[in-house]
Amino acid sequence: MFLRLLLSGDFACISCSGGEYLRNRGNPSFCKVEENCSAKDALPCMLNQSSKRLCVWSRKRSAPMGFVTARCYLSYITKHLRGCRGRGGRKLEDVLSSEESTPVTEDSSLREASEILLCQDEATVLGSDGCVIGILNRGMIVRYVLALLRKKEQVKLSTPMTVILSHFSALPNPRHVLPKVKDSSSLLEALPELLSSRNGAVLSIDCPTGGQRVLTVWDVLQHMLYHLVEEGEGRSKSAVVRGGVTIPLLTIARDEGERSVIQFEGTSAYTLGVDSLGNFAISSGDQPMLVIDNEQNISFHMNNLSVRSVDFGGDLVVEGVSQFKMIWRESFVDARGWNGTVDQVGVSSCAGIPMLGGFKLFGRGWVQKTFIELPVHRELRIKASFHFLDQWAGESGYMKLNTSSSAPMDYVWTDIHAEHSTTGINICGGETPDSKFSVPIEVTIPHSSERFTIEFGSTLEGDAVQQSWGVSGLEIYVR
């Protein structure tokens, strides 16, 4: 755009804003790619662009994020894809572009050079002996003209290239001077010089003939990416990566009915990927070890499975049978939620066992508690221990449940005890031996309601000093 302005000689708009100029002259056309576009998908756009750059567009902000140049591509693959050692050994003569660009001579005018640079991104400058003495690009023309305008000097389109090159030679680190490498050098040897060159180019010297050619970042990019992709697709669908590879996203393509996997070398030959049915699988050889199907079901196919802990959010099914899972356990550090007709609702400890009730607390009467918000289930299982303490004389202890919120309380467990021993062991409470100290309870009933009430009681008629009882280890299971 600036070169067209220079050739037209119309400098009237040099003081207008950039936005105003673009509105008057029309927006330049850039190839736009979205920010989430992969480097591989963007490559054809890059290779087909005469400007050799892509505009990265942010859909979220509806604005450009910046430009990706050929140098960006080459720097990235040089830094991250160092596994391509075979390509790095190629000679520069194999990499040099076959496309011929129009050079300019040292006597060419600014007008002639600008007209050439309208059709190509850069041009080599040849001396009187036909050898390359420098490289000229659009940016250099712009900087030269702006330097004259800043000094309020006249811009002459007849200015020869020698004057322009002399202008840049007087600057620190002159841009037009190209680093020189031998034509027989390997690509790996030339890459550091190429990437450090301010012009993104080096001068390749053919030692036997003295011929000179310019090698650019663009030439190397086309060779390392464009041709490698074509050869890789025609040669094999597999790739072996050795050494370090750092990438933000790796996509492994898969054809319908075929698998796509990552294989780890070694004696076990483990693979990780998607099988021919579309299931994600980790396998050892041809034997799957872990499979996740399309419905997110996980299956293990191994002799032993060892885990430190398992947290189930759903059902545990073994051989097709759903297993019970514990949803509540009463530790009886307090009697919260329990009420009834016993002497005193509280907790105690006997022989180190925390229990609901106990000596001097539970004699005649009953206690109950309602549990709510049960998960969806078909069966209910209750486990607990009932403790007979001191002078029982044929009375019973029991447990009741209601099968629904409107159903009556039904007996689901009962046991009878008569203490006749005089030489037994006294565990706790009074001086009477406790020969039936702990009796296990395990009851399973059909149940589907989201709530139920449990009741423990006895047929004792006396107070809790002569004879008492308690309950410990209450656990609630559903399935």
Q: What is the DSSP string of 272-306?
A: EEE-TTS-EEEEETTEEEEEE-TT--EEE-SS---
**Residues 203 and 269 occupy one common structural domain:** no
Question: 22-43: per-residue pLDDT in tens?
Answer: 555 554 556 777 877 776 677 7
Is 3 a domain residue?
no
CB 476 within 8 A of CB 380: yes
pLDDT of 135 over the 70 cut: yes
Residue 267 lies in a domain: yes
The contacts of residue 137 (CB under 8 Å, 6+ apart) are 117, 121, 122, 123, 199
Number of neighbours of residue 254 by Cβ within 10 angstroms: 15
Looking at residue 1, its pLDDT comes to: 57
User: Are 70 and 196 in a shared domain?
Assistant: no
Same domain for 396 and 352: yes
Last residue of a domain, one of 53, 81, 109: 81
In this prediction, residues 145-173 reach a mean pLDDT of 80
Say if 322 falls within a structural domain. no
Query: Do 281 and 404 fall into the same domain?
Result: no
**Is there a single domain that holds both residue 439 and residue 451?**
yes
2 within some domain = no
pTM of the model: 0.45
pLDDT category at 174 given cuts 50, 70, 90 is: low
Give the pLDDT score at 84.
42
- Report the domain count for the chain: 4
* End-of-domain residue from the set 193, 220, 235: 235
**Domain extent for 63:** 14-81
pLDDT recorded at residue 358? 97
AA identity, residue 227: H
Q: Are residues 198 and 335 in the same domain?
A: no
Tell me, yes or no, whether 146 lies in a domain: yes
Classify residue 323: in a domain, yes or no: no
| Helix or strand holding residue 389 (H, E) | strand 379-390
What confidence category does residue 89 fall into, taking pLDDT thresholds of 50, 70 and 90? very low
Tokens of 112: 């002639």
